[in-house]
Amino acid sequence: MLNSVHVPHQIGEPATEFGTRLIQKSRKKAYFKGFCGGTSPAGDKSVKTHLESKTMKKTLIAVVLAGLASVTSTAVIAADPKAPKPDFEISGNFGLFSDYRFRGISQTDRKAALQGGFDFTHKSGFYVGNWNSNISSSFTPGANVENDIYAGFVKEVGPVELNLGVLRYIYPGATATAKPDTTEVYLGVTYGPISYKYSHSTTNYFAANSGNSKGSSYQEINASFDLTDSISVSAHAGRTNIAKTSTGDFSDYRIGLSYALPNDYSIGLTYFTNSGLSSAEKEANTNLGRKLYDNAAVISLSKTF
């Protein structure tokens, strides 16, 4: 997430025409382990007890050896790559970001954001999830929170992974006449460390163009590489196309570095920049003199579970 993203999950991203969220979507699944233990009895020092003790020791040794064999067998079974996958998995993410950028634009008036969400994935490829972040009500009147709900299906076709889904951005309490709530359908294609995603709005696009922006689109190319077991680098290029206007198109870019910490925590640093913004877009994305589209470096601390 550095500002935030999902896959819908990543580094601090979704939102309005004004925003960017990195759908964090490098979420790890939670697995649980268990173990058993036991105690052994003790006896007195009589001859009879001594004989019983010797017998018990032999029995205990047999039990211990049998137990070790059982544990070893269980470990082998657990490590068996042919073991069936669970029917479903539930994962989550939580993070603190110095800014929330959605498609290049700050959603929190260049201030900090607290973000988190959950994902349910089925072995069939179906998934559904929720992601949330605080936003600036001075930029989205009446709304202090963004709630995203999404569902989709992932399918591997040879070396390529296809991802088809729908994403709904909700801004509870928004009071503007042109509501920012937006629905997008998307198609993603991933090959190795490279991915492409096309999103198309089936409603007005975050109240852009006075609410007359249905059919707007966003295209993005993302890449992620592991430099070491703990360090990874990512890059992104995106293009926003606002429907029914010639002044709403622009491009956004980012490059990030992430360092994995123990217990599924990670820290990150991401640099955001934009190009091609019209004077009208720059004016629309300026709040009390703060240019929400300006270049920015965002730091983050996040955890997956």
Residue pLDDT, tens place only, 265-285:
999 999 999 999 999 899 989
d(CA 187, CA 217): 12
pLDDT score of 80: 56
Average pLDDT over residues 77-88: 68
Residues 292-303: pLDDT tens digits?
Answer: 999 999 999 999
Q: Which of 109, 114, 107 is nearest to 133 (CA)?
A: 114
Q: Would you tell me how many other CB atoms lie within 10 Å of the CB of residue 47? A: 7
This prediction has a pTM of 0.74
CA angle, residues 268, 91, 135, in degrees to nearest 5: 55
pLDDT score of 137: 84
Q: Which of 1-5, 227-231, 278-282 has the highest mean pLDDT?
A: 227-231
The dihedrals phi and psi of 69, each to the nearest 5 degrees, come to: -65, -40
- Return the domain boundaries, the chain: 88-304
pLDDT per residue over 191-204, tens digit each?
Answer: 999 999 999 999 99
Is the separation of the CB atoms in 109 and 290 below 8 Å? yes
pLDDT digits over 89-145, tens only? 999 999 999 999 999 999 999 999 999 999 999 999 999 999 999 999 877 889 999
Positions of E strands within the chain? 88-97, 101-102, 105-106, 113-122, 126-134, 145-157, 160-170, 182-191, 194-201, 217-226, 231-241, 250-260, 265-275, 286-287, 290-291, 296-304
Q: What is the pLDDT of residue 125?
A: 97
| Tokens 């800014």 -> residue | 99
Report the topology of domain 88-304.
Porin (2.40.160)
More confident residue, 298 or 31: 298
Mean pLDDT of the chain: 80
